[in-house]
Copies of this chain bind each other. A is one copy, B any other.
Amino acid sequence: MQKNKNRISVPGFLANGISSGIKDSDQKDLALIYSTVPARVAAVFTKNSFKAAPLLIDAERVKKGTAQAIITNSGCANAATGKEGYKDALSVSAALAGQLKIKEELILMGSTGVIGKRLPVKKIAGGMVKLVKGLNGFGIEDAETAMMTTDKYPKIAIRKGIVGARDIIICGIAKGAGMIEPNMATLLTYVMTNALIDSKALNTVFHQAIDNTFNSISVDGCMSTNDMAIILANGLAGNNPLERAQARLQRFRDMLSDVLMELCQAVVRDGEGATKFISINVEGAKSRSDARRAAYAVANSNLVKTAFFGEDPNWGRILAALGSSGIPLEKERVSLSIGDVLVFSQDSPTNLNLNKLREIFQRDRIDVRIWLGGGDKSYCVYTSDLSYDYVKINADYST
């Protein structure tokens, strides 16, 4: 995680974050990312049937492969707002196009906050002059801060490397702390890079990298209406273009995956009320989808999550959750370890050291490994515990 905001900058990208009055307090609530030249774009959207209005517009615009700006408000999701909500989003994009003097189709939009409320278009329009005027090369952290809702801290990750004979920077920012579940992990993630990359290649590597990172985390098993991830690649590095089936594309994808993995782990660590970071690694499955289903059954079990919060080495709940996952299991072949303690094997509890296990449950990070013994496929999910604070944060959110 990058702390020094002065060092966060991606060639050709300007950003800003301001308070426009959407939130009651003076908190920042309006963010803008802007590329000085049109950029190649790829995006992944939530699979929720009630997609927020801005996402419906974005999905159409992204198809053209080019975008130049992303405006995001927090404090209102503009989801479940029907045709009016759609018009509201369009009016934001029209106003911003006027300010930036670019085509409206080059503008993407994100919203996060309470569902079912109309977007405060006047406030957003009122803040737009200031938002655009303040665009600057070191505004990424301000933009990130303006996207936050229940997040405790901003999440920014950067990787630099030489790809295609030029210095490439990939910088990602993410907002999200609750409603975290795949398709997409409930949040907004924006990635900026100066790489020159072919549209199809960008789309492919972005989807692959998301699948292995943000689609593998869970805080509360809830899928939001507003989740999306967008990457803008403005090509200003002037590198040898990245195209499919190249070794240098692989290098770019690895850097991108690193950025996304750092961000998604930060999202889990910042999970609403989270006190622990927990990995659930299922191995030896017949298929990746079986492994995934098993891992999520454990990761999303409230009984497992409360046991971790309570530092109660009640490992039987992990087995109970695994057993309820619905995947075919040969239980004689299943093994379970927590940290480096094997707790269950050959259909029986091991003769374990309970004090050692108790000590592992007291750690900030806990690694759970499940071997199914039925194949060679695996899946790893990152999750958090379920605490009083999760309930507190979510019991009184909209009012």
Q: Is A289 an interface residue (CB 8 A)?
A: no
Cβ A116 vs Cβ B349 within 8 A: yes
Q: Mark A301-314, 1 if CB is under 8 A from B, else 0.
A: 11100110110111
Q: Is A181 an interface residue (CB 8 A)?
A: yes
Known contacts A48-B323, A312-B396, A398-B313: A84-B348 contact under CB 8 Å:
yes
Q: Is A316 an interface residue (CB 8 A)?
A: yes
For residue A218, give the distance in angstroms from its CB to the closest CB of chain B.
11
For residue A348, give the distance in angstroms from its CB to the closest CB of chain B.
3
- How far is A48 from B294 in the complex, measured between Cα atoms in Å? 12
- How far is A316 from B398 in the complex, measured between Cα atoms in Å? 10
For A398, list chain B residues within 8 Å (CB): 307, 312-314, 316
CB closest chain-B residue, reference A330: B49
CB closest chain-B residue, reference A310: B395
Known contacts A80-B319, A80-B349, A320-B224: A397-B116 contact under CB 8 Å:
no
- How far is A302 from B348 in the complex, measured between Cα atoms in Å? 32
Q: Is A131 an interface residue (CB 8 A)?
A: no
Cβ A81 vs Cβ B348 within 8 A: yes
How many copies of the chain does the oligomer comprise? 2
Q: Is A331 an interface residue (CB 8 A)?
A: yes
- How far is A388 from B389 in the complex, measured between Cα atoms in Å? 8
Cβ A178 vs Cβ B395 within 8 A: no
Cβ A344 vs Cβ B80 within 8 A: yes
For residue A220, give the distance in angstroms from its CB to the closest CB of chain B.
5
Q: Is A392 an interface residue (CB 8 A)?
A: yes
Known contacts A79-B316, A225-B323, A301-B222: A391-B348 contact under CB 8 Å:
no
- How far is A391 from B391 in the complex, measured between Cα atoms in Å? 8
Residue count of chain A within 8 Å CB distance of chain B: 68
Q: Is A6 an interface residue (CB 8 A)?
A: no
Q: Is A121 an interface residue (CB 8 A)?
A: no
Q: Mark A65-90, 1 if CB is under 8 A from B, else 0.
A: 00000000000010111111100000
Q: Which of A73-115 contact B (CB under 8 A)?
A: 77, 79-85, 114-115
Most buried by B among A221, A303, A346: A303
For A324, list chain B residues within 8 Å (CB): 47-49, 181, 222-223
Cβ A391 vs Cβ B394 within 8 A: no
Q: Is A138 an interface residue (CB 8 A)?
A: no
Cβ B397 vs Cβ A48 within 8 A: no
For A388, list chain B residues within 8 Å (CB): 388, 391-392
Q: Please tell me which one of the listed residues B77, B312, B331 contacts residue A49 in the complex, with CB atoms under 8 A apart.
A: B331
Q: Is A359 an interface residue (CB 8 A)?
A: no
Residues of A in contact with B (beta carbons under 8 Å apart): 47-51, 77, 79-85, 114-117, 178-179, 181, 220-225, 300-303, 306-307, 309-310, 312-317, 319-326, 329, 331, 343-344, 346-349, 386-388, 390-392, 394-399
State the 8 A-B residue pairs at the shortest beta-carbon distance, nearest first. A115-B316, A310-B395, A82-B348, A223-B324, A50-B323, A306-B394, A116-B316, A49-B323
